[in-house]
Chains A and B, each alone.
Chain A
Amino acid sequence: MNMNILLVEPDVALVKIYGQALETAGHQVCVATDAQQAIDLIDEAVPDVVFLELQLVGHSGIEFLYELRSYAEWQKLPVIILSNVAPGEFTGSQNIFRRQLGINKYLYKPQASLEKILATINELEFA
């Protein structure tokens, strides 16, 4: 199934690569480079899933998530973290991630191949 994906990613080169991979797999991709832009884009048209880098300029990805989940209509919007922040940085906070911030999956960029990213979307489709 083709999905509408919001990619929240500040790095130009990675935007091109991820965007191309997702579009080749048949998905529609919208890009936001910072938290405010992401909120604005979701307000215009709610995507099927958000891929989120935590290291953004200005407000962080975590701040974006708190903002996102403060809106009742966006509580269930699937969010997949795709970040250079290692998941080990959040030892002890996994429950907060799942319950409070509603993170569906955490992908650590250095170990997240394009195949893995596409497979994660497929898992969402069948969830």
Chain B
Amino acid sequence: MKDWQPASMNPTLDESQRLFMALTEELKVPFEQIERRAELAALNGHVGDTKLIAATADDALRLIDNYLLAIRLQQNPEAKFTAQPVSVAAILYDARAELMALANRYNVQLELDIAGKYGPVLAHDVALKSALTSLGHSLISALPAAASSKKLYVKLSAHRGPKSIVAGIYSDEYVFTPEVLRRGRRLYGQTRQPLTGISPHAGAGIFIADTILRAMSLSLKASKYHNQSGLATALPLSPQLQLAGF
């Protein structure tokens, strides 16, 4: 019988405080990577991979920026930015470009899967891209250190839903269910590992994405596509844009 308990975080934190706690836990990892890489280089008596160190710092800064966007949206819901016609494919291309350095560091093959041609949806391109890159940050860094010869695959995917375009991130390596996501939403910022079956980290990127999407009246859901599990959002097709011939 285990008769100890780690000190738990304050359960009365509000949502923005919880998101902040999750972010600070998550940021330990890239800072440790930067510091230990620099130390390793010094131990070995050479300059070291400064590009790798810079890329790690870049990813961490991007996560911070996405967090700040999420908080601004959460704190000031009236200051919504104007939705405009946005190409989901273009957003996914951009998100993939931003996540490539992280994917390479984690030995992950990051693929794009855009099934079919879609017209634009009404959304805010910066916020949507921020949500997807935040999501990608947590999902990629959650993947286990595989055997050196084995690559792990993660897909940024868009496919048609009944009245929407579903955009998300999928892999064979996760098992996301609605219950896993619900549990994570209850626990983030209050435990170090709100998604114990998925990630060894705080998963801040997932909950940052969740906050951003909610601010755009969208939702993040556990999703399955082509037998792969992941997290995705459904972007409603715009009847006006369809009428306009897009």
Q: Which A residues have a C-beta under 8 Å from some C-beta of B?
A: 9-15, 17-18, 20-21, 24, 31, 33-34, 53, 55-58, 60, 62, 66, 84-85, 88-93, 96, 109-110, 113-115
The chain B residue with its CB closest to the CB of A88 is B7
Question: Looking at chain B's contact residues, is the secondary structure mostly helix, strand, loop, or mixed?
Answer: loop
Complex Cα–Cα for A11 and B144 (A): 6
Question: Contacts A91-B7, A114-B36 hold; do A12 and B143 have CB atoms under 8 A apart?
Answer: yes
Q: Please determine whether A55 and B6 come into contact, CB atoms closer than 8 angstroms.
A: no
Q: How many of chain B's residues touch chain A, expressed as a range? A: 35 or more
Question: Contacts A88-B7, A89-B7, A114-B43 hold; do A57 and B144 have CB atoms under 8 A apart?
Answer: yes
Q: How far is the CB of A69 from chain B (nearest CB, A)?
A: 12
Q: Please determine whether A13 and B196 come into contact, CB atoms closer than 8 angstroms.
A: no
Q: Please determine whether B145 and A10 come into contact, CB atoms closer than 8 angstroms.
A: yes
Q: 1/0 per residue B87-104: CB within 8 Å of A?
A: 000000000000000000
Among B4, B7, B35, the most chain A Cβ lie within 10 Å of the Cβ of B4
Complex Cα–Cα for A90 and B7 (A): 7
The chain A residue with its CB closest to the CB of B200 is A10
Complex Cα–Cα for A31 and B35 (A): 21
Q: Please determine whether A114 and B40 come into contact, CB atoms closer than 8 angstroms.
A: yes
Q: Please determine whether A34 and B4 come into contact, CB atoms closer than 8 angstroms.
A: no
A residues within 8 A CB of B107?
A: 12
A sample of 13 cross-chain residue pairs with beta-carbon separation below 8 angstroms, ordered by A number, consists of A11-B29, A17-B33, A17-B37, A33-B145, A33-B146, A56-B200, A57-B144, A57-B196, A57-B197, A91-B7, A96-B3, A113-B35, A114-B39
